[in-house]
Amino acid sequence: MQRYFIQEKKENNIYLQPEDIHHIKKVMRNKVGDSVHCIDPFGKHYLCSIQDVETGCLKIDKEIEEWNELDIEVTLIYAMPKGDKFEFVLQKATELGVHRIVPLQSRRCVVKLDKQKFEKKLERYQKIVKEAAEQSYRSILPKIESIQTIASLSPYLTNYALVAYEESAKVGEHHNFKKVMQEIKTKQSLTIIVGSEGGFDEDEIEALEKMGVLRCSLGKRILRSETAPLYMLSVIGYHREME
């Protein structure tokens, strides 16, 4: 059954957004009386029936008990990569359960974006996240923050914070990620930080460490910038849901 994240709910009726109205009409070819699954901004799930295809008006038939989120909140801070890699990571990180994504402008980023330029792309980024969340049966929409610098990251650091650093792998550091996975408890939060193609400079790592961030290795191999956050989220998901 098709799922939609909704913004507008009035008493027993739900109203779809314009792009979702187009989807039920042109893609799904739904008709009056067809059932769809809706999720409100608070993570509540509803089984609904279509009342009017043209206006996207739905009637709530019943509330459904469902929650498909990790038991910890994971923030991904990701230095802006080249090309469309950021969009790829947005999509896959959403599927893997990320709670919040913070784009970062670090020294070695090839792509140079200020907040104004980033805001122009935000609508597209949010659409990618929404579609990925619907496809993967998420209960909430991950939030995309405005672009930050190393110096402005403190508000986004949570109970635990790790930065993936290739130099840590070279010197044989293979403990911090595992240690955090063993220590973190339900309802706590974790921040993971990943650099762009060029990684981080040592002084950037030192600045993060002064904020309480632990540098960590992701194993013996050096991963691409778009692979590293997905590897970390996969490990987190395995530890929280599969062990």
Say whether both 94 and 202 belong to one domain: yes
Say whether both 83 and 59 belong to one domain: no
Say whether both 56 and 129 belong to one domain: no
Output the pLDDT for position 135. Answer: 96
Output the pLDDT for position 91. Answer: 98
Output the pLDDT for position 4. Answer: 96
Per-residue pLDDT of the chain (243 residues; tens, 9 = 90+): 899 999 888 889 999 999 999 999 999 999 999 999 999 999 999 999 999 999 999 999 999 999 999 999 999 999 999 989 999 999 999 999 999 999 999 988 888 887 888 999 999 999 999 999 999 999 999 999 999 999 999 999 999 999 998 776 555 567 899 999 999 999 999 999 999 998 899 999 999 999 999 999 998 888 999 999 999 999 999 999 997
Structural domains of the chain, count: 2
Output the pLDDT for position 219. Answer: 85
Say whether both 135 and 236 belong to one domain: yes
Residues 70-96: pLDDT tens digits? 999 999 999 999 989 999 999 999 999
Say whether both 39 and 96 belong to one domain: no
Say whether both 9 and 79 belong to one domain: no
Say whether both 34 and 94 belong to one domain: no
Q: What is the 3-state secondary structure (H, E, C) of the chain?
A: CCEEECCEEECCEEECCHHHHHHHHHHCCCCCCCEEEEECCCCCEEEEEEEECCCCEEEEEEEECCCCCCCCEEEEEEECCCCCHHHHHHHHHHHCCCCEEEEECCCCCCCCCCHHHHHHHHHHHHHHHHHHHHHCCCCCCCEECCCECHHHCHHHCCCEEEEECHHHHHCCCCCHHHHHHHHCCCCCEEEEEECCCCCCCHHHHHHHHHCCCEEECCCCCCCCCCCHHHHHHHHHHHHHHCC
Residues 12-37: pLDDT tens digits? 999 999 999 999 999 999 999 999 99
What residue numbers bound the domain in which 39 lies? 3-64
* Residue of 226, 146, 159 whose CA lies nearest to 190: 159
- Spatial distance between the Cα atoms of 128 and 64, rounded to a whole number of angstroms: 25
Separation of CA 146 from chain center: 14
Output the pLDDT for position 168. Answer: 62
CATH code, domain carrying 49: 2.40.240.20
Burial class (CB in 10 A: 0-12, 13-18, 19+), 174: middle
Output the pLDDT for position 86. Answer: 96
